[in-house]
Protein backbone atom coordinates (compact mmCIF):
# COMPACT_ATOMS: atom_id res chain seq x y z
CA UNK A 1 0.00 0.00 0.00
CA UNK A 2 1.49 3.36 -0.99
CA UNK A 3 2.24 5.92 1.70
CA UNK A 4 2.69 9.64 1.05
CA UNK A 5 4.21 12.26 3.35
CA UNK A 6 3.70 16.02 3.54
CA UNK A 7 5.71 18.57 5.47
CA UNK A 8 4.02 21.16 7.71
CA UNK A 9 4.90 23.69 10.39
CA UNK A 10 3.57 22.99 13.86
CA UNK A 11 1.85 25.60 16.04
CA UNK A 12 4.65 25.34 18.60
CA UNK A 13 7.30 26.05 15.98
CA UNK A 14 5.36 29.08 14.76
CA UNK A 15 5.33 30.54 18.27
CA UNK A 16 9.02 29.75 18.68
CA UNK A 17 9.69 31.86 15.58
CA UNK A 18 7.48 34.66 16.97
CA UNK A 19 9.49 34.63 20.23
CA UNK A 20 12.70 34.80 18.21
CA UNK A 21 11.40 37.81 16.28
CA UNK A 22 10.31 39.62 19.45
CA UNK A 23 13.77 39.16 20.99
CA UNK A 24 15.56 40.26 17.81
CA UNK A 25 17.61 43.42 17.36
CA UNK A 26 15.05 44.70 14.85
CA UNK A 27 11.99 44.45 17.09
CA UNK A 28 12.80 44.18 20.78
CA UNK A 29 13.03 47.94 21.33
CA UNK A 30 9.44 48.53 20.14
CA UNK A 31 7.05 47.25 22.78
CA UNK A 32 3.97 48.17 20.77
CA UNK A 33 5.10 46.29 17.65
CA UNK A 34 6.06 43.22 19.70
CA UNK A 35 2.66 43.25 21.35
CA UNK A 36 0.94 43.58 17.97
CA UNK A 37 3.02 40.75 16.46
CA UNK A 38 2.15 38.32 19.26
CA UNK A 39 -1.54 39.25 19.09
CA UNK A 40 -1.69 38.68 15.33
CA UNK A 41 0.13 35.37 15.72
CA UNK A 42 -2.24 34.12 18.41
CA UNK A 43 -5.31 35.09 16.39
CA UNK A 44 -3.95 33.61 13.16
CA UNK A 45 -3.05 30.27 14.76
CA UNK A 46 -6.02 29.99 17.14
CA UNK A 47 -8.67 31.19 14.69
CA UNK A 48 -7.52 30.24 11.18
CA UNK A 49 -9.57 31.82 8.43
CA UNK A 50 -11.23 34.34 10.77
CA UNK A 51 -10.47 37.92 9.74
CA UNK A 52 -9.40 40.70 12.12
CA UNK A 53 -11.01 44.12 12.20
CA UNK A 54 -9.06 47.34 12.70
CA UNK A 55 -11.37 48.25 15.58
CA UNK A 56 -10.55 44.98 17.34
CA UNK A 57 -6.79 45.53 17.04
CA UNK A 58 -7.03 49.19 18.06
CA UNK A 59 -9.02 48.57 21.24
CA UNK A 60 -7.50 45.26 22.34
CA UNK A 61 -3.85 45.85 21.45
CA UNK A 62 -3.12 49.55 20.96
CA UNK A 63 -5.12 50.89 23.89
CA UNK A 64 -7.58 52.93 21.85
CA UNK A 65 -10.96 53.86 23.43
CA UNK A 66 -14.20 52.14 22.48
CA UNK A 67 -15.12 55.14 20.33
CA UNK A 68 -12.23 54.42 17.95
CA UNK A 69 -13.11 55.17 14.32
CA UNK A 70 -10.84 53.41 11.77
CA UNK A 71 -12.10 55.73 9.03
CA UNK A 72 -10.58 58.81 10.65
CA UNK A 73 -7.74 57.20 12.62
CA UNK A 74 -5.04 55.29 10.72
CA UNK A 75 -3.33 53.93 13.85
CA UNK A 76 -3.74 50.27 12.99
CA UNK A 77 -2.69 50.65 9.36
CA UNK A 78 0.39 52.65 10.35
CA UNK A 79 1.43 50.13 13.00
CA UNK A 80 0.85 47.18 10.67
CA UNK A 81 2.99 48.93 8.05
CA UNK A 82 5.76 49.51 10.57
CA UNK A 83 5.62 45.86 11.63
CA UNK A 84 5.71 44.74 7.99
CA UNK A 85 8.89 46.80 7.48
CA UNK A 86 10.48 45.43 10.66
CA UNK A 87 9.82 41.83 9.62
CA UNK A 88 11.42 42.46 6.24
CA UNK A 89 14.36 44.14 7.96
CA UNK A 90 14.81 41.15 10.30
CA UNK A 91 14.87 38.55 7.52
CA UNK A 92 17.26 40.69 5.46
CA UNK A 93 19.79 41.24 8.25
CA UNK A 94 19.33 38.93 11.25
CA UNK A 95 17.39 35.95 9.98
CA UNK A 96 18.47 35.26 6.40
CA UNK A 97 18.84 31.56 7.25
CA UNK A 98 15.70 31.12 9.39
CA UNK A 99 13.62 28.18 8.19
CA UNK A 100 10.29 29.80 9.04
CA UNK A 101 9.37 33.10 7.38
CA UNK A 102 6.63 35.24 8.97
CA UNK A 103 4.93 37.88 6.85
CA UNK A 104 1.91 40.20 6.87
CA UNK A 105 0.44 40.26 3.38
CA UNK A 106 -0.68 43.73 2.35
CA UNK A 107 -4.40 44.23 2.78
CA UNK A 108 -4.60 41.70 5.60
CA UNK A 109 -3.91 41.49 9.32
CA UNK A 110 -3.43 37.71 9.33
CA UNK A 111 0.13 36.44 9.53
CA UNK A 112 1.49 33.85 7.12
CA UNK A 113 4.02 31.21 8.17
CA UNK A 114 5.92 29.33 5.50
CA UNK A 115 9.16 27.48 4.97
CA UNK A 116 11.91 29.45 3.32
CA UNK A 117 12.27 28.49 -0.36
CA UNK A 118 15.58 26.94 -1.32
CA UNK A 119 18.05 28.05 -3.92
CA UNK A 120 18.72 25.68 -6.81
CA UNK A 121 21.36 23.13 -5.86
CA UNK A 122 20.94 23.69 -2.10
CA UNK A 123 20.51 20.75 0.24
CA UNK A 124 16.77 20.36 0.85
CA UNK A 125 15.72 21.89 4.16
CA UNK A 126 15.03 19.58 7.06
CA UNK A 127 11.28 19.13 7.45
CA UNK A 128 10.06 20.68 10.68
CA UNK A 129 7.19 18.27 11.19
CA UNK A 130 6.55 14.97 9.44
CA UNK A 131 2.84 14.33 9.02
CA UNK A 132 1.43 11.12 7.56
CA UNK A 133 -0.93 11.55 4.63
CA UNK A 134 -1.49 7.80 4.26
CA UNK A 135 -4.73 5.96 3.80
CA UNK A 136 -6.09 4.27 6.89
CA UNK A 137 -4.69 0.93 5.75
CA UNK A 138 -1.48 -0.02 7.55
CA UNK A 139 1.73 0.29 5.57
CA UNK A 140 4.09 -2.59 5.04
CA UNK A 141 6.75 -3.09 7.78
CA UNK A 142 9.58 -2.36 5.37
CA UNK A 143 8.06 1.00 4.43
CA UNK A 144 7.52 1.80 8.11
CA UNK A 145 11.16 1.09 8.82
CA UNK A 146 12.19 3.36 5.97
CA UNK A 147 10.02 6.17 7.34
CA UNK A 148 11.60 5.83 10.80
CA UNK A 149 15.03 6.06 9.24
CA UNK A 150 14.00 9.24 7.43
CA UNK A 151 12.83 10.78 10.70
CA UNK A 152 16.11 9.93 12.45
CA UNK A 153 18.16 11.36 9.60
CA UNK A 154 15.97 14.46 9.59
CA UNK A 155 16.68 15.07 13.28
CA UNK A 156 20.42 14.65 12.70
CA UNK A 157 20.31 17.02 9.75
CA UNK A 158 18.35 19.56 11.80
CA UNK A 159 20.94 19.44 14.58
CA UNK A 160 23.77 19.87 12.08
CA UNK A 161 21.99 22.75 10.35
CA UNK A 162 21.27 24.54 13.65
CA UNK A 163 24.87 24.23 14.82
CA UNK A 164 26.25 25.48 11.51
CA UNK A 165 23.79 28.37 11.39
CA UNK A 166 24.73 29.40 14.92
CA UNK A 167 28.46 29.36 14.20
CA UNK A 168 28.04 31.35 10.99
CA UNK A 169 25.34 33.74 12.20
CA UNK A 170 27.67 36.65 12.92
CA UNK A 171 29.45 36.36 9.58
CA UNK A 172 26.15 35.93 7.74
CA UNK A 173 24.71 39.01 9.43
CA UNK A 174 27.70 41.13 8.43
CA UNK A 175 27.66 39.85 4.86
CA UNK A 176 23.94 40.44 4.47
CA UNK A 177 24.25 43.97 5.87
CA UNK A 178 26.95 44.87 3.37
CA UNK A 179 25.03 43.50 0.39
CA UNK A 180 21.65 44.93 1.38
CA UNK A 181 20.71 47.82 -0.96
CA UNK A 182 20.50 51.20 0.77
CA UNK A 183 16.98 52.70 0.59
CA UNK A 184 16.84 55.76 -1.65
CA UNK A 185 15.21 57.88 1.07
CA UNK A 186 18.14 57.14 3.39
CA UNK A 187 20.61 58.21 0.71
CA UNK A 188 18.76 61.48 0.16
CA UNK A 189 18.07 62.54 3.74
CA UNK A 190 21.41 61.50 5.27
CA UNK A 191 23.55 62.62 2.31
CA UNK A 192 25.20 65.51 4.16
CA UNK A 193 26.31 63.30 7.03
CA UNK A 194 27.41 60.37 4.86
CA UNK A 195 29.44 62.45 2.41
CA UNK A 196 31.46 64.19 5.14
CA UNK A 197 35.06 62.98 5.59
CA UNK A 198 34.57 62.46 9.35
CA UNK A 199 31.72 60.57 11.06
CA UNK A 200 29.19 62.88 12.73
CA UNK A 201 29.07 63.38 16.47
CA UNK A 202 25.84 62.30 18.18
CA UNK A 203 25.37 64.52 21.24
CA UNK A 204 22.80 63.16 23.67
CA UNK A 205 21.11 65.00 26.54
CA UNK A 206 22.93 64.92 29.85
CA UNK A 207 20.85 66.84 32.35
CA UNK A 208 22.05 67.84 35.80
CA UNK A 209 20.19 66.17 38.66
CA UNK A 210 20.37 66.42 42.44
CA UNK A 211 19.34 63.79 44.97
CA UNK A 212 19.67 60.06 44.67
CA UNK A 213 17.68 57.42 42.73
CA UNK A 214 17.00 55.53 45.96
CA UNK A 215 15.26 58.52 47.53
CA UNK A 216 14.31 61.35 45.21
CA UNK A 217 16.04 62.74 42.16
CA UNK A 218 15.09 65.97 40.40
CA UNK A 219 16.51 68.52 37.99
CA UNK A 220 19.23 70.77 39.35
CA UNK A 221 18.05 74.26 40.29
CA UNK A 222 21.05 76.66 40.27
CA UNK A 223 19.24 79.14 42.51
CA UNK A 224 18.68 76.71 45.38
CA UNK A 225 20.94 73.69 44.92
CA UNK A 226 24.63 73.22 45.52
CA UNK A 227 26.60 72.20 42.43
CA UNK A 228 28.53 69.74 44.57
CA UNK A 229 25.42 67.56 44.75
CA UNK A 230 24.95 67.33 40.98
CA UNK A 231 24.51 63.93 39.31
CA UNK A 232 25.28 64.18 35.59
CA UNK A 233 25.43 60.53 34.57
CA UNK A 234 21.75 59.86 33.86
CA UNK A 235 19.87 60.20 30.60
CA UNK A 236 16.42 59.23 29.35
CA UNK A 237 15.45 55.92 27.80
CA UNK A 238 14.24 57.77 24.71
CA UNK A 239 17.73 59.14 24.06
CA UNK A 240 19.21 55.65 24.40
CA UNK A 241 16.75 54.16 21.92
CA UNK A 242 17.29 57.12 19.59
CA UNK A 243 21.02 56.37 19.45
CA UNK A 244 20.16 52.74 18.77
CA UNK A 245 18.02 53.73 15.79
CA UNK A 246 20.67 56.06 14.41
CA UNK A 247 23.32 53.38 14.77
CA UNK A 248 21.12 50.95 12.81
CA UNK A 249 20.61 53.41 9.94
CA UNK A 250 24.27 54.38 9.74
CA UNK A 251 25.12 50.68 9.69
CA UNK A 252 22.92 50.35 6.61
CA UNK A 253 24.73 53.36 5.15
CA UNK A 254 28.06 51.70 5.97
CA UNK A 255 29.12 54.67 8.11
CA UNK A 256 30.10 55.07 11.74
CA UNK A 257 28.90 57.40 14.47
CA UNK A 258 30.77 59.07 17.31
CA UNK A 259 28.79 59.51 20.53
CA UNK A 260 29.33 62.04 23.30
CA UNK A 261 27.20 63.24 26.19
CA UNK A 262 26.22 66.89 26.23
CA UNK A 263 28.14 67.79 29.39
CA UNK A 264 31.44 66.91 27.68
CA UNK A 265 30.72 68.72 24.45
CA UNK A 266 32.60 71.89 23.45
CA UNK A 267 32.12 74.68 20.95
CA UNK A 268 35.22 73.47 19.13
CA UNK A 269 33.28 70.30 18.35
CA UNK A 270 30.50 72.47 16.91
CA UNK A 271 32.83 74.32 14.57
CA UNK A 272 34.68 71.32 13.20
CA UNK A 273 32.10 68.52 12.84
CA UNK A 274 28.68 67.50 11.59
CA UNK A 275 26.41 67.08 14.60
CA UNK A 276 23.25 65.22 15.58
CA UNK A 277 21.71 66.53 18.80
CA UNK A 278 19.40 64.20 20.72
CA UNK A 279 17.23 65.72 23.44
CA UNK A 280 15.52 69.06 24.08
CA UNK A 281 17.34 72.17 25.37
CA UNK A 282 15.64 71.53 28.71
CA UNK A 283 18.09 68.64 29.14
CA UNK A 284 20.60 69.02 26.32
CA UNK A 285 21.98 72.32 27.64
CA UNK A 286 24.54 72.53 24.84
CA UNK A 287 21.73 73.55 22.50
CA UNK A 288 21.28 76.76 24.48
CA UNK A 289 24.82 77.84 23.55
CA UNK A 290 24.54 77.49 19.77
CA UNK A 291 22.07 78.73 17.15
CA UNK A 292 19.08 76.40 17.27
CA UNK A 293 15.61 76.45 15.79
CA UNK A 294 13.80 79.66 14.88
CA UNK A 295 10.34 78.50 13.78
CA UNK A 296 9.60 75.91 16.48
CA UNK A 297 11.16 76.84 19.80
CA UNK A 298 11.25 75.07 23.17
CA UNK A 299 10.20 77.26 26.07
CA UNK A 300 9.51 76.73 29.76
CA UNK A 301 6.10 77.75 31.07
CA UNK A 302 6.47 80.49 33.70
CA UNK A 303 2.90 80.93 34.92
CA UNK A 304 -0.21 78.91 35.62
CA UNK A 305 -0.72 75.28 36.63
CA UNK A 306 1.86 74.00 34.10
CA UNK A 307 4.68 76.20 35.43
CA UNK A 308 8.04 74.55 34.81
CA UNK A 309 6.80 72.30 32.02
CA UNK A 310 8.29 72.62 28.53
CA UNK A 311 6.18 73.64 25.52
CA UNK A 312 6.90 74.10 21.83
CA UNK A 313 6.15 77.58 20.49
CA UNK A 314 5.13 77.85 16.84
CA UNK A 315 6.63 81.27 16.12
CA UNK A 316 4.74 81.85 12.86
CA UNK A 317 1.65 79.62 13.02
CA UNK A 318 -0.15 79.03 9.74
CA UNK A 319 -3.96 79.01 9.63
CA UNK A 320 -5.26 76.06 11.64
CA UNK A 321 -1.98 75.57 13.53
CA UNK A 322 -1.65 76.03 17.30
CA UNK A 323 0.80 78.57 18.65
CA UNK A 324 1.80 76.43 21.65
CA UNK A 325 1.98 72.63 21.99
CA UNK A 326 2.55 70.70 25.21
CA UNK A 327 2.90 67.10 26.28
CA UNK A 328 0.57 65.49 28.80
CA UNK A 329 0.78 67.11 32.27
CA UNK A 330 3.68 65.85 34.38
CA UNK A 331 1.17 64.67 36.98
CA UNK A 332 -0.23 62.14 34.48
CA UNK A 333 1.14 59.29 32.40
CA UNK A 334 2.36 60.59 29.06
CA UNK A 335 -0.18 59.93 26.33
CA UNK A 336 0.84 62.76 23.99
CA UNK A 337 4.07 64.59 23.29
CA UNK A 338 5.52 66.99 20.75
CA UNK A 339 8.92 66.87 19.09
CA UNK A 340 11.08 68.84 16.69
CA UNK A 341 13.16 67.61 13.77
CA UNK A 342 15.39 70.30 12.33
CA UNK A 343 18.27 70.35 9.86
CA UNK A 344 20.38 73.47 10.35
CA UNK A 345 23.71 74.77 9.03
CA UNK A 346 26.60 74.52 11.46
CA UNK A 347 28.63 77.44 12.80
CA UNK A 348 30.89 76.57 9.89
CA UNK A 349 28.56 76.46 6.84
CA UNK A 350 30.55 73.48 5.55
CA UNK A 351 28.98 71.40 8.35
CA UNK A 352 25.41 70.53 9.28
CA UNK A 353 23.42 70.03 12.47
CA UNK A 354 20.39 67.78 12.92
CA UNK A 355 18.23 68.35 16.01
CA UNK A 356 15.99 65.52 17.24
CA UNK A 357 14.18 66.64 20.37
CA UNK A 358 10.94 66.09 22.23
CA UNK A 359 9.49 67.87 25.24
CA UNK A 360 9.94 64.50 27.00
CA UNK A 361 12.30 61.59 26.45
CA UNK A 362 9.53 59.69 24.62
CA UNK A 363 9.14 62.53 22.13
CA UNK A 364 12.88 62.49 21.52
CA UNK A 365 12.70 58.77 20.74
CA UNK A 366 9.83 59.38 18.32
CA UNK A 367 11.76 62.15 16.53
CA UNK A 368 14.72 59.84 15.94
CA UNK A 369 12.51 56.97 14.81
CA UNK A 370 10.73 59.32 12.40
CA UNK A 371 13.92 60.05 10.43
CA UNK A 372 15.17 56.46 10.69
CA UNK A 373 12.19 54.67 9.14
CA UNK A 374 11.54 54.55 5.45
CA UNK A 375 7.79 55.21 5.50
CA UNK A 376 7.91 58.31 7.71
CA UNK A 377 11.12 59.59 6.10
CA UNK A 378 9.42 59.30 2.73
CA UNK A 379 6.53 61.40 4.05
CA UNK A 380 8.92 64.09 5.29
CA UNK A 381 10.79 64.25 1.98
CA UNK A 382 7.52 64.57 0.09
CA UNK A 383 6.41 67.46 2.33
CA UNK A 384 9.77 69.12 1.74
CA UNK A 385 9.52 68.54 -2.02
CA UNK A 386 12.88 66.76 -2.07
CA UNK A 387 13.64 63.93 -4.50
CA UNK A 388 17.45 64.20 -4.81
CA UNK A 389 20.28 64.54 -2.31
CA UNK A 390 21.40 67.92 -3.61
CA UNK A 391 17.90 69.29 -2.93
CA UNK A 392 18.19 68.80 0.85
CA UNK A 393 18.06 72.25 2.45
CA UNK A 394 17.66 73.41 6.08
CA UNK A 395 14.19 72.86 7.50
CA UNK A 396 12.25 72.60 10.75
CA UNK A 397 9.37 70.19 11.40
CA UNK A 398 6.94 69.75 14.28
CA UNK A 399 5.72 66.26 15.24
CA UNK A 400 2.78 65.19 17.39
CA UNK A 401 3.39 61.86 19.16
CA UNK A 402 0.77 59.50 20.56
CA UNK A 403 2.13 57.43 23.44
CA UNK A 404 0.91 54.13 24.93
CA UNK A 405 2.55 52.63 28.03
CA UNK A 406 5.59 54.86 27.58
CA UNK A 407 6.08 53.84 23.94
CA UNK A 408 5.55 56.17 20.94
CA UNK A 409 3.00 54.41 18.73
CA UNK A 410 1.90 57.09 16.26
CA UNK A 411 3.88 60.10 15.05
CA UNK A 412 2.18 62.71 12.88
CA UNK A 413 3.88 65.47 10.93
CA UNK A 414 2.05 68.59 12.08
CA UNK A 415 3.94 71.42 10.38
CA UNK A 416 7.02 72.02 8.21
CA UNK A 417 9.06 75.15 7.59
CA UNK A 418 11.62 75.22 4.79
CA UNK A 419 14.83 77.18 5.14
CA UNK A 420 16.84 78.98 2.51
Q: What is the pLDDT of residues 307-363, one digit of tens each?
A: 878 899 999 999 999 999 999 887 788 899 999 999 998 878 889 999 999 988 899
CB neighbours (10 Å) of residue 239? 26
Residue with the bigger pLDDT between 187 and 127: it is: 187
Judge if 77 and 218 occupy the same domain.
no
- Tens digits of per-residue pLDDT, 179-200? 568 889 999 999 999 988 889 9
Q: Which residues contact 261 (CB under 8 A, 6 or more apart)?
A: 203, 204, 206, 235
Determine if the pTM surpasses 0.85: no
What's the average model confidence in pLDDT over 233-260? Answer: 88
Q: Reply yes or no on whether the pLDDT at 285 is more than 50.
A: yes
Distance of alpha carbon 18 from alpha carbon 69, whole angstroms = 29
pLDDT of residue 189: 96
pLDDT of residue 137: 37
Q: Round the CA-based radius of gyration of the chain to a whole number and report it.
A: 26
Residue 304, Ramachandran bin (φ over 0: left; ψ between -120 and 50: alpha; else beta): left
Q: Which residues contact 99 (CB under 8 A, 6 or more apart)?
A: 115, 116, 125, 126, 128
Domain ranges, residue 45? 5-179
8 Å CB contact between 243 and 201: no
Residue with the bigger pLDDT between 207 and 30: it is: 30
Using DSSP's 3-state secondary structure scheme, residue 345 falls into: strand
Distance of alpha carbon 129 from alpha carbon 113, whole angstroms = 14
8 Å CB contact between 277 and 290: no
Give 155: exposed, middle or buried? Use CB within 10 Å, 0-12, 13-18, 19+: exposed
Judge if 313 and 344 occupy the same domain.
yes
- Tens digits of per-residue pLDDT, 73-104? 888 888 888 899 899 889 988 888 899 999 99
Judge if 237 and 304 occupy the same domain.
yes
pLDDT of residue 100: 92
Distance of alpha carbon 285 from alpha carbon 288, whole angstroms = 5
Judge if 268 and 160 occupy the same domain.
no
Of 113, 145, 179, the position where a domain reaches its end is: 179
Judge if 95 and 134 occupy the same domain.
yes
- Tens digits of per-residue pLDDT, 212-238? 777 777 777 777 777 666 666 677 888
Pairing outcome for strands 407-418 and 395-404: antiparallel
Judge if 157 and 292 occupy the same domain.
no
pLDDT of residue 262: 77
Of 136, 163, 179, the position where a domain reaches its end is: 179
pLDDT of residue 6: 37
Judge if 131 and 219 occupy the same domain.
no
The fraction of the chain above a pLDDT of 90, given in percent, is 32
Q: Reply yes or no on whether the pLDDT at 255 is more than 70.
A: yes
Using DSSP's 3-state secondary structure scheme, residue 377 falls into: helix
Q: ∠ CA(383), CA(387), CA(392), 5° rounding?
A: 75
Q: Reply yes or no on whether the pLDDT at 130 is more than 50.
A: no
pLDDT of residue 339: 94
Q: Which residues contact 387 (CB under 8 A, 6 or more apart)?
A: 188, 381
8 Å CB contact between 383 and 409: no
Q: What are phi and psi of 97, to 5 degrees?
A: -110, 0
8 Å CB contact between 238 and 401: no
Q: Reply yes or no on whether the pLDDT at 420 is more than 90.
A: no
What's the average model confidence in pLDDT over 387-411? Answer: 92
CB neighbours (10 Å) of residue 274? 21
- Strand-pairing partners, residue 357, are 340
pLDDT of residue 180: 61
pLDDT of residue 281: 67
Of 179, 214, 246, the position where a domain reaches its end is: 179
Pick from 110, 114, 104: which is nearest to 49 by CA? 110
- The total domain count for the chain is 2
Amino acid sequence: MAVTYTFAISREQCFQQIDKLIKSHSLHTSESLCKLLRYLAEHTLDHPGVGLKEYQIATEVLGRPTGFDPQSDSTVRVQAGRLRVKLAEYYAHEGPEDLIVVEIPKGSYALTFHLRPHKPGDQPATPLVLESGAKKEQAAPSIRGWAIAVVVLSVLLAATFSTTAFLLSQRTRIQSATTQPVPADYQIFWSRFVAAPQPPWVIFSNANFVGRPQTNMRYFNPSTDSREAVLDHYTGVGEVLAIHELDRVFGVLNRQLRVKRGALFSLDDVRNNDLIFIGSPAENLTLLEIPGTQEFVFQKVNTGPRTGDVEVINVHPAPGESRASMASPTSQSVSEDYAIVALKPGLDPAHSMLILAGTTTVGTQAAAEYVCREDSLNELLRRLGVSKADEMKPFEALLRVKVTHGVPVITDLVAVRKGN
